[in-house]
Structure 1
Amino acid sequence: MFIIKPNWLSHQDDRETPLSIFSVSVHPDGSRIATGGLDGKVKIWSVAAMESEHENEGQPRQLCSMSTHNGAVHAVRFSPGGRFLASGSDDKIILIWERDTSGAGLGLSFGGDSTFENWRSVRRLAGHDNDIQDLAWSADSSLLVSAGLDSSIIVWHGHTFQQLKRIEGQSHVKGLTFDPSGKYFASASDDRTVKIWRTNDFALEKSISTPFENSPLTTYFRRLSWSPDGNNIACPNAMNGPVSSIAIVQRGEWSSDFSLIGHEGPAEIVCFNPRLFKQVQEDGTETLGSTIVVSAGQDKVVTFWNTTQSKPFLITEELGLKSVSDLTWSANGDKLFISSYDGSVALAVFEPGDLGFPQPWEDNIAALAKYGHGQHGMILPESVQQLELEALAQKAAAEATVKKMDTLMGGGEIEDTQMQDVMPIAAKPANSNSATAAPQAISQHVEKIVDKRVEQKVTVDSKGRKRVAPTLISNFQGSSTPARLPDSTPRPSAKVNGTTTEYSTPSNALPEGGVEGLIIGNKRKEQDEGDEITAAHRKKGKVTSAEEIPDWIRPAVTNPAIALSQTRLGAPKVKALITYTNDSTLVLEIRNSPNVQTPTRLICKREGETIWTDYIPRSVLTATGTKNFWAVATEDGSVYTWNIIGKRLFPVIVLESQSSILGSNGWWLFSITVAGLLYVWDMKMETAAHTPASLAPILDSATTFESTPKKTACITNVAVTNTGVVCITLTSADSFVYNGTMLVWQRVSEPWWAINSLYWDSTRLGIPGPLGSLERRTDMEFMKHGRGRAFQRMVKGGLRREGFEGLECIASLAHLENRISSAALIGSAEEYRSATLMYARRLGEQNFQEKVKGLCQELLGPQLFIENHHWKPTVVGIYKRELLKEVLEVMGGFREVQRITTEYSEALQAISEMS
């Protein structure tokens, strides 16, 4: 390891007096760092210049200097994607900077500083009422969190930078950090607590106060850090008796039994290395998955720790004349940047083996997989049941022998024997020995660490650079056996947060795992295909004979349509008692008879009082009802209907087979039969929404080779909107809507958007509606079957290929376009409006002028430019020209498209005057 401290890197006043640097951040590509200081400037510096062997190479040092803030800059943070730089200041403002690669305006910036890069302020976030102390980005750059001395935390959207949530009453918040799996973020404040917040609803998960009860209030920052494997949070400014310490909070139970002791004064900053390391001990044994954390505080000492030892393995003293203000690691984990209140920045460069040997990035992803890493819209909190499901999916994936694409896109059912094998492993608690040994080992050496500093071996090479040799604490006299930080097992409450659904749910609860089905493919047989894919499909699919069709009802005469149908779904069991409560206080009680000679009795009650009674000759499989009508489906394929007071609405509806699923909403009633046919009726108008539709297309019949019945994706959710549109979600995480006008199924939600789109999370954070519910269902199914990591590998691999650099941007636009058309199809007015405004803002940001014209023209109507025969003045209850006014207002702030927006504003005004 060697340390570089360039004398030219500083913030200065007019008299060239060094001023305090409060924050430092390194770009993800490692080429530049940003600093913020007391002079109110944000400066960009070249890392290559800091590492340069010769000072006269002519290489630029300071790349840019921005002086837009009106107060000291306390926090600068590059987004993990590298596109944005956020800065927070005493002026209560957050500025979002983006590099302008056009080359215009380079030379001298305002104030006389040389400029080799042009960074422009693209957003000005005003929301805090006092100084901003810290900023933090989520790992996927989808969220930005800010905190300050106004005792509030504000969550901003990471791409649109709209304010999503304001959390009040936290005392002075002085530190923020994000869970690398994206499910939580943590804050540290002067009320002597560390709070854990959920990212799905921004509610408080846990408040931790025990380690900080006696902590001093003299610290300027409380910058905490989350470990790269997601297991631990390192929290500064804690106390272990009378000794200053760093508390290690373990994920799940959020306990803080472990602490790091070694600083003489309060610690203000801790920072985990982003890599996992393999440590090789002196006896040759290897330890995988160790993490490195560095801490600094008011004692001007920077201390390095790892999880395989109870003591610091390296201590560096007097790096600056004053205390350390911030720490940040490069993305590769081989460089540490250290800023100080004395106005300097030091660079510590580690050579191979100094910290250990970094493990592949895939190990980080694997470590985070158990916490749901890779899912943008994660809804379910962590629970033992969730971890069991994920362990089960991982075991099934390991045993699969299909080709890579089948592994990425497919997913089969898992037998009960596999569940029994995996569940004890998933529920096994973490080893408690390490949790007790580590504190004991620390307490035995507190005096030696505090009283005796490690003597650094400093050498000067031929080029004049100082090198500090790392000294392992195990080499000291009196060292004990190293102890590990405990591996935590997440064990929070197993409750599941409910989500608001704007459309109906099926009347009978679908069984766990969904409704099973079989399907017969409509492709030619394998030998006719002549490609290499057939072998993989032959290995993957289990061919099930016709005799193995699930039979969940009493033995009865099989309808011939079942044997001939392409799709075969499971039927509900015949239960002795079925009850259903409609939208009001009424309850329908159905009592089936054990024999066919006795009729089935139906009783409608209100608060125990019988309203009406009826009898039917067949046993009931399922029932549904609204405040307008009741409906039941029987085992002979009939559907009976009554109004709310018990009058028969129609003669009995006779279907080709039994109803597998029956549901309703308002005046709409739908049935999905075991033959895979969908019927939708308007009970008030006595009409059908469309002709019967087969579920075979959405169950992958077009991609199935076998001509014999084969298992397919299960149906996990079916519902009908108040406009009569049926929505179906499968275990494949895809959601479909039937278009009654075009008479086709359309896929409105799928995992592709969840992985690639920057706007996936914005649905759950915006206006609730049917489309948002479908996307949440996609998230839930996607997580259950453990496909997130596989999709991420596919997408990340594609992004590295030539020609795929713009994949994320293009996919985000495509997702918004898909959301707009889907909202129109479903009939969700508010979702259509919000998606259109997001789309307009994105087009303005990216300067897509042709698409801006197309959007404005579509909303204005056929009067301008060309005749559009498909244009309608209203869509899902929204008048398009009123929406156009909002769109023009959103895009009006983007200079590049102002000419277009002005043109359409004038056209809109002219049409308004004419009318």
Structure 2
Amino acid sequence: MKLLKPSWVTHDGKPIFSIDIHPDGSRFATGGQGEDSGKVAVWNMAPVRSEVDEKNSNIPKLLCQMDNHLACVNCVRWSSDGRYLASGGDDKLIMIWQTGRYFAGPSTVFGTGGKTVNIEQWRCVNTLRAHTGDILDLAWSPQDAWLATCSIDNTIIVWNATKFPEIISTLKGHTGLVKGVTWDPVGKYLATQSDDKSLRVWRTVDWQQEAMVTKPFDECGGTTHVLRLAWSPDGQYIVSAHAMNNSGPTAQIIERQGFKTSMDFVGHRKAVTVVRFNPNIFQKVVNKASGKSQQFSCCAIGSRDRSLSIWLTALKRPLVVVHDMFKNSVMDISWGKSGFELLVCSWDGTAAYVEFTPDELGTPLTQDEMNSLHQRIYGKSMAISTQHSVNNTIIENPAMLKLQQRHNEHREQMDAKKQVNGTPTKIRNPMLTSPTEKPNPKAQQIETRTPDGRRRITPLCIAPQVDFGDIPRPFMSSSLPMSSTGVAQPGLETAGTPRAAEPSQGSPSSQHATVKPLAPSVLTSAPTAIPANIQPMKALDSRFTEKSKATSGTKTSQSKPDRITPITLSTAKPREPDRPILQDSSAPAPTIIAKRKLDSLSQPGTKRMRKDKPVLMAPAAPTQVTPTIPQDVITRSAPHPIMLPSPPAEKNISLQVGGGEESMVLELENNIQTAGVKLAGLKCRRGGTVEWETVLSTRGTLLAGSRKVLCVSCEDRSLCVLSPSGRRLLPGLVLSHPTAILHCNGYHVMAVTTVGNLSVWNVQIAKVVIKNESLLPIMSGDVVIKTSSVTEQGVPVFSLSNGKVFTFSVSLGTWSTLSDVHSSLQQCSDHQTIMSSLNPSSQVKGPLASLQGQGQRSGRQAGRLFRANHNLQQAVTLGHLENQVSAALMLRSSAEHKFWLLTLVRYLVQEGLEAQLREICDDLLGPVTAQGRLPKGSLWEPEVLGVCKRLVLSEVLQEVGSNLRLQRLYTEYQDQLDMVQTPAK
């Protein structure tokens, strides 16, 4: 056995949280903390094995350094074929790295002053976003069909490694931080360990929980940064991290058969952080008396006591224990594929290399012998491709099978469109895809011929081509290996295979640790029925609390309640009818300039209003009215009155209605003197030509119009409604107060008076839609109206300075909130993961999108507030999506209502929330009768916003059918829909 610590393997003194050896043994990766970000580094293995290569300046030590992660990297793992490197960190991201095929030469790392050189080129080919908390561990499944990641958001996500970023399933059940994940070597189970004092085993057939082990962890506390458990290569045992036995730290052994917990590895003085099995099964003559060869596994265990122990399942005691290996806790362990090399990393920022000989460990079984062993035990071997088991749920319905086929065809069509548009298509099965030629951008160039026959080539901007290589070859395996300066150096030996040369004792860059045998300890009893030779040992009591990385907290802000100013009301002289009732007779009418100043003083954080736009706001608190009759004084709290500015009757007012060739310009001219009478003239121009003109008896103050109706607000508080040809459609509409806001859309006219009374009319049928509804419930304090409008369906919309958007519901008779930029639901919703998978062309535009498009903050803080509570994150996302559906319904926006309903359904399907899906399907399906007719007295409406509900249900079921776990729900409602559905007209 050889042990050394290469001093050059470092993250500049920062912790190294993970380490992994490449399957070909030529390189290894480390992940940890960088200067101001997470760091992933790929190192050359040759200088670690050989002192000669270490001293050779032409052999680089660091091959590549990647600083793409925004926060500390907690785990790095190579895929089993060595093509990909996966890394996960505190930034809630998983990055999939692949080497570039065409490499121009070494390059320096930005920010290192030229001191760090990248010899290899690794690019991030996929970034996986779905976790809402730090990612602590990840693992590739056998044959690289899946990638499992676990996080402090209490969930495990299984990704389809052949079609990133597709999610196969999200496993929920843990109630604490999930800190470790490992795969069954035959791909039947997935095991995870969490701070909730449990180890759970999940089936890969339906991704449901198979077993939960809690007893060995009852006395455990969350004192370790990670809990990296491991599955033995024969699949018979799981060895957990941090367990307790009689108040002593152990590594619990869990049998596959029945998941029993009768044995454990003992001897470490502090909590076990990581367990890693050697990928090989060894055979050796253990008992020389019998002379029979015995098969066994090898396991390495690291602990917070800074020690490493190596165990063979054929021995009752550890093969070797290395004490005081580091200055801090052991964080990760990695075995080389040969089975005789081991790398260990620590929180203290250093790494150690251990090399064994066949005499110490034994002779590893060949791959064929391993496959035969699995075939004999499980009926299948690891050599059998697991590609078919990506979607291994049995399809029970032919309709479901056709739906799955349509989904696959749709994906292929989308990929073909992306390829035509120049977007690179994602590789469906990277394990089976052969190398392709480098793309030729010149094939898309455009050539034309001039009249004299000469060729003319249109210049084409060629973006840098990102081309990714195949499985990286062992470093320095070419005939002329590259030096650190990028110059080919002849005469160097290849370093693709391990060497047996022992490092020199005098090497300045190597540190040696002492190897001491473990002290004898008393063996604990084990049942005789256990078919294993692992003998547990008595544990020593020692407990230690490790300082874990702090997560960012959140600050809560409290908003001041609306102030209610007590005023004194008294009997006063009757006011003149022309004077506004809510305005104090002793207070001067506030001007627009005064209101702007007041607004800027009351809201220092808001943006400054443009000077060419009038500011609509409520005045300050009213002054007290001096009582005239003291005995009749009544003191009470009154709501804040509204005073909106009335626009002056300017001499000339113009308005453009519509756009393009059909646009028209309205011109209003006040103070026209005719025979001693003052009139107002209104003209309509199209293309500079006056089409018609009319006169008004009083001066006009506001103009509004649409392609269906035109409207003028006059000084005598009346509205004049005209057709686009200048014909008066209605008699003058007289309001109680002057008009402050006027809008037209379609056949609807909306007017708001200076005291905040809202009215909406449908001119086409000459009917009032909303009559004198006050804005007082939505305007309080110093809130002002930023924008206002009316939809084509006659729905009023008001956007206020406090970030809220309101509408008045005629059916409910109350004001409703459409949007709130400060809403926690809107800021912390995690629905963007659903939106990112949609085709950009499917994004709809409507009144809701236009309202929320400016300053849209939806999802910006997703996971920040609820990073450790997935259930709360789920509730917030559902709340936001349900609000979006309701808001679209209030605005009577049919396209947006359908879009957000399907988005809600996609999220419910992803989360597997069957109860909510049933409610939606029941509402869309309605009552089911044999004749297909609605029963008498039924209140169910067959349409929503003019769209047939059952047609929407058919689209909903298409989304439900994308999740095979919901295929029975799909079948149930599809059968009922087929029974009652009639052909759509």
TM range, smaller chain? 0.3 to 0.5
What TM-score do the two structures reach when normalised by structure 1?
A: 0.46
Which protein, 1 or 2, shows the higher relative CO under an 8 Å CA cutoff with sep ≥ 6? Answer: 2
Larger Rg: 2
What TM-score do the two structures reach when normalised by structure 2?
A: 0.43
